[in-house]
Structure 1
Amino acid sequence: MLTLVLGLLPLSATALERQVVLIAHPNVANTSLTRDTTRAIFAMRQRSWPDGQAVRVFVLPNDHPVHARFAKERLTVYPHQLQLAWDRMVFSGTGQAPSQVNTQSEMLERVATTPGALGYLEREYLDERVQVITMD
């Protein structure tokens, strides 16, 4: 029995490291967001934080597995639905798409150095330069 339990521990630690978390620049006052607010921000419908500060949204490419997991698990939408919303705003002239980064390391760097930034990455990429935003 003990062997079975010990055999599961590395899997649990690995699963925790691979968890996709919402991250923000350290100057962002909010430490939590609702799923609806997070979805509105990533759909580019809400352009500011609840305290009025402008949001700079960063995303990974549509075909990146972490982007797909974030969209499905955290926002409960498919990546193509986000892309359609962004395309609609860009083509109609009512908004712009989020800034795209190519890697999780680049995501960390851009969010850490851009005031008001919001993004996501796997927990294993976190460091002290960004804060984790919880979703209610």
Structure 2
Amino acid sequence: MTWISIRVLITLLLLVSQDLPAQTLIANEQVEIKQLSKTTARSIFAMRVHEWPNGTPITVYVLQDQDPTHNQFCKSVLGMFPYQLRRIWDRQVFSGTGTAPIVVNSEQEMLDAVANTKGAIGYISKDDADTHKRIQIIKVDL
């Protein structure tokens, strides 16, 4: 192995090992689900699943496309790039076959919206959702 290869390998390892903020999937306290598969979470945020198993409508909240938390959530939890999710929403809206999620401007606004909307789901970067009343954390099987 050459010195250049070793330096490149070390650099890559350092970049990969940096801590990223944890992404926490949150839902209104009335949502009966406590755990979702990655596929189900992706379907919900792609606006393909419209109801919880008990028939309650799902209201999806997301942060703005350029928000770092949104970017990281799409990549780490949903396993897709934000632009891919945006394309799905745009296609559904423009074809008249679906709607886009509700966009909020901050994580605090996300917490408030999810807490006050029956059947709501969203995400935040911090793991302090359990301190907020009317919010529960949903575990995603990655």
What TM-score results when the alignment is normalised by the length of structure 2?
Answer: 0.81
Distance 1:41 1:115, change over 3 A: same
Q: Deviations 1:69-118 (Å, cap 9, x if unpaired)?
A: 00000000000000000000000001100000000000000000000000
1:133 match: 138
Residue of 25, 50, 53 corresponding to 2:28: 25
1:70 lines up with 2:73 in the alignment: yes
What TM-score results when the alignment is normalised by the length of structure 1?
Answer: 0.85
Structure 2, unaligned stretches of length 5 or more?
Answer: 1-18
Structure 1, unaligned stretches of length 5 or more?
Answer: 1-14
For these two proteins, the number of residue pairs brought into alignment is: 121
Provide the rounded CA distance (Å) in 2 between the counterparts of 1:115 and 1:65: 27
CA contact (8 A) 1:105 1:125 kept: no
SS of 2:60's equivalent?
Answer: strand
Q: Deviations 1:24-81 (Å, cap 9, x if unpaired)?
A: 0000000011100000000001111122211000000000000000000000000000
CA contact (8 A) 1:58 1:101 kept: yes
1:79 lines up with 2:82 in the alignment: yes
1:8 match: none
Matched-pair identity in %: 44
CA contact (8 A) 2:27 2:122 kept: yes
- What is the CA RMSD across the aligned residues, in angstroms? 1.3
Larger deviation: 45-54 or 29-38?
A: 45-54
- Spell out structure 1 runs of 4+ moving beyond 6 A: none
For 1:23, give the aligned amino acid.
Answer: I
